[in-house]
């Protein structure tokens, strides 16, 4: 689990990456997505959404949707909702 002080920064970076993907497409930010997925895996997360978001052989629209669903899932976690400074808690 991401420690509370680092959670705010993680969610902020998540939102920034989502904005960049929305503006330029996931292919242009593939390396950033791989780092993001690796960070979630280090925290013990696993699943199809992580696999799909990181897989360049999949269609961009599917990867972008998977990334968006990852962010929505993270925003609904109790730790995110408890973070008063986090964008997801607002």
Q: The tokens 């008063």 sit on which residue? A: 84
pLDDT tens digits, 35-61 = 999 988 888 888 999 999 999 999 999
Averaged pLDDT, 72-90: 60
CB-neighbour burial class of residue 25 (10 A; exposed 0-12, middle 13-18, buried 19+): middle
Residue 76 has pLDDT above 80, yes or no: no
Residue 82 has pLDDT above 60, yes or no: no
User: Percentage of the chain with pLDDT > 70?
Assistant: 76
Distance (Å, rounded) from C-alpha 16 to C-alpha 9?
Answer: 10
Predicted pLDDT at 17: 93
**What does the mean pLDDT of the chain come to?**
82
């Amino acid at each position: 689990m991401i420690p509370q002080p680092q959670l705010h920064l993680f969610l902020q970076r998540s939102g920034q990456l989502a904005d960049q993907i929305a503006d330029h497409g996931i292919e242009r930010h593939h390396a950033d997505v791989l780092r993001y997925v690796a960070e979630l895996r280090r925290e013990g997360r696993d699943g199809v959404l992580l696999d799909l978001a990181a897989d360049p052989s999949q269609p961009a629209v599917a990867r972008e949707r998977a990334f968006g669903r990852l962010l929505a899932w993270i925003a609904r976690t109790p730790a995110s909702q408890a973070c008063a400074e986090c964008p997801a808690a607002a």
